[in-house]
Structure formats: structure tokens, C-alpha cells
Amino acid sequence: MPFGTLPLNDGKKIPAIAFGTGSIYKRTDVTRYVQQALDAGFWHIDTAQFYETEGYVGNVIHESGLARSDLYITTKYGQGDVREAIQNSLSNLGLKYVDLYLIHQPRFLPEIDPVWKEFEVLQKDGLAKTIGVSNFTLEDLQSLVQKATMWPAVNQIELHPYNYTQKKALLEWSAKHGIVTEAYSSLSSITKFPGGPVDAPVAAAAKRLGISPTQVLLSWVRAKGAVIVTTTSNKGRLEEYLAVGDLPPLPDSDVAAIDAAGTQGPPGILDYSIISVRGTRLTLKAAMLALALAFLFLHVFSRVVACRM
């Protein structure tokens, strides 16, 4: 399969597609799925401290007999002492280094800058060939790089047509500054939000191009310059994903049509409009629920006061 690599800002390269062991596979035995992915042709495997799948990935690596240079392994830091965390991850994986080490989620850490400083040391020490982040917003990235000696090479984020408008500025800024975007949950319009406005342009492109709707969406991700991070337990699906590497680029007209449909939002969901309340990031849906509860509280409170007067 001709899925190649993308250049990174540290002079290294990253495979353009990865098999992920998170999602519904967190804290489960992923041995069979990882082995199946390697057999299908994946060589970039994505795991994390939080997923609790590193040990299973390590077992598959050991049993595969593949040379270390034939594999690209990503894992993510979640919590605790940074050096201890990566040492535990390397022990679980049975490796001396990981190809990519990411800060998993900035919202779960009290401070980011000290963690990133430790990441820079890990890279210098050779425990992580490349360092990056995950789930960082544009504001998170811009804040991080102000004090960073080494800029992150990667930002792994949720990316699909229904949140592309909200992520567009982040993607553009990242591309401008040499930070590669990795995209997960890119099939959400099929798996989570079927029946929405994106279905029509995806189906039209699939019919005209003679490919599947899944392949249209993964081609859309490639058109955004992002690395695909995907997963499945189905061997046929793995082959379907990898076959995208053989396809010509998705026509600009199809990319534009999918973008436009995505701005209409998924069916019945308001979660992708983000607002900020006193520095706390909330989805519009969550904010509306909080507002409704506040009005209900005020209504009940006023009734109680009225009854006592």
C-alpha cells in the first residue's frame, strides 16, 4: 500500500496512517486486533498510558518478529512523574524508545510547561524520538510554544466534517508552523451521527468515484494534510482503510461540499459550538443545560419564598 510518510519539524517522518488502540478498546485485550493490523499492512500503532493497552501492544511487537525499524510506535503521557511514566510505558511495550510521545490531554494536568520541559529532556535522552501533544486547542499550542525550546511536532485531535469549522484555524496555524495534525474519530459522520447533512455529499462522491463512503471520509482527512488514526476489529475494514493510499486525491469540489455540509452540524447535536465561561470550556449543549437548571432552581426558589410570605 502506498501510504507513505509525512515530514516532521524535527527532521524525522511519521507514517500517514496509524492503527489506534483507544476508543472502545480501552482497558481490553487488543492482542488480536493489533496483530491483525500488522498483518494487514499497518506499521504505525498508537496506544497510551490511559488506554491500558500498552502491554498487549508490546506482546504483539515481541511475537511479530519484526525489526524495530519496521515499526512506528506512539504512546501518550497521562499523569504522574513524566520520566517514571515513560519508563513504565517502555517496559510495557518492551522497547528502548518510542517513536512518538504525546501529552495526552492538557485538561487533566495542573501545569503544562513543566511537563513539556520534561518531554524535551526525554527527547534529548533518546527515550522518545519525537515529542508532541494531543487534544490541544490553538490557544493551548500558542501558549506552549512561547516557553518551549523544542516545538511539538504533532498534535493529535478529533477531526471530522462536523467539527472542521471549529478546528480550521488550529489546522492552518499548525501547518504554518510545521506541526503535523493527527486526526482521530474522522468517521464520526458515519459511526456517531448518521443521517446528517454530510451524508449526501459523501454518498455522491462515493458513487461517482466508485469508492466507499468510508474511503471518501478518509480521503477528506488526507486532503486536510492530516495523519489518519483509525481502528476496527474487522479485517475487511483494515484493508478498506489501507486502500485509500492507492486512491487519487479527493477532488477539491468534493472537499468543499463536505466542508459546507459539515457547517450545518450533526443531526440533533449542538455539542460542537464551544464557549468559555470564566475560563472553563463548555459545549453549547452543556451551557444550555446549565442555564436551564439555573432557571429551574430560580423558579423553585421563588415559589418556596412566595409560600413562606
How confident is the model over 111-164, as pLDDT tens digits? 999 999 999 999 999 999 999 999 999 999 999 999 999 999 999 999 999 999
Query: 210 and 247: one domain?
Result: yes
Per-residue pLDDT tens over the stretch 20-62: 999 899 999 999 999 999 999 999 999 999 999 999 999 999 9
Per-residue pLDDT tens over the stretch 79-90: 999 999 999 999
Per-residue pLDDT tens over the stretch 161-195: 999 999 999 999 999 999 999 999 999 999 999 99
Q: In the chain, what percentage of residues exceed pLDDT 90?
A: 85
Q: Does the pLDDT value for residue 75 go beyond 60?
A: yes
Query: 79 and 222: one domain?
Result: yes
Please indicate, yes or no, if residue 230 is contained in any of the structural domains.
yes
Q: Let me know the angle formed at the C-alpha of 201 by 195 and 202, rounded to the nearest 5 degrees.
A: 75
Please indicate, yes or no, if residue 68 is contained in any of the structural domains.
yes
Please indicate, yes or no, if residue 269 is contained in any of the structural domains.
no
Domain count, the chain: 2
Query: 298 and 206: one domain?
Result: no
Query: 238 and 300: one domain?
Result: no
pLDDT for residue 309 = 44
Residue 290 is part of which domain span? Answer: 274-308
Q: Which residues contact 279 (CB under 8 A, 6 or more apart)?
A: none
Query: 171 and 215: one domain?
Result: yes
Per-residue pLDDT tens over the stretch 190-216: 999 999 999 999 999 999 999 999 999
Please indicate, yes or no, if residue 231 is contained in any of the structural domains.
yes
**Any idea of the CA torsion for 105, 107, 113, 119, to the nearest 10 degrees?**
-20
> Mean pLDDT over all residues of the chain?
90
Q: Indicate the residue type of 128.
A: A
Say if residues 14 and 227 touch (Cβ distance below 8 Å). Answer: yes
Query: 105 and 197: one domain?
Result: yes
- What's the CA gap between 123 and 145, in Å, rounded? 16
Query: 206 and 290: one domain?
Result: no
Of residues 33, 51, 56, 162, which has the active-site annotation? 51
Please indicate, yes or no, if residue 25 is contained in any of the structural domains.
yes
- What's the CA gap between 103 and 78, in Å, rounded? 7
Query: 298 and 235: one domain?
Result: no
Query: 248 and 195: one domain?
Result: yes
- What's the CA gap between 289 and 107, in Å, rounded? 21
Query: 291 and 162: one domain?
Result: no
Please indicate, yes or no, if residue 21 is contained in any of the structural domains.
yes
Q: Half-sphere exposure (CA, 13 Å, Cβ side) for 261?
A: 24
* Annotation: binding site for substrate: 104
pLDDT for residue 302 = 52
Query: 298 and 170: one domain?
Result: no
Query: 281 and 258: one domain?
Result: no
First to last CA, the chain: 77
Per-residue pLDDT tens over the stretch 93-103: 999 999 999 99
pLDDT band at 2 (very low <50, low <70, confident <90, very high): confident
Told to judge if 241 belongs to the known catalytic residues of this protein, a careful annotator would answer no
Please indicate, yes or no, if residue 137 is contained in any of the structural domains.
yes
Please indicate, yes or no, if residue 112 is contained in any of the structural domains.
yes
Q: Give the CATH number for residue 84.
A: 3.20.20.100
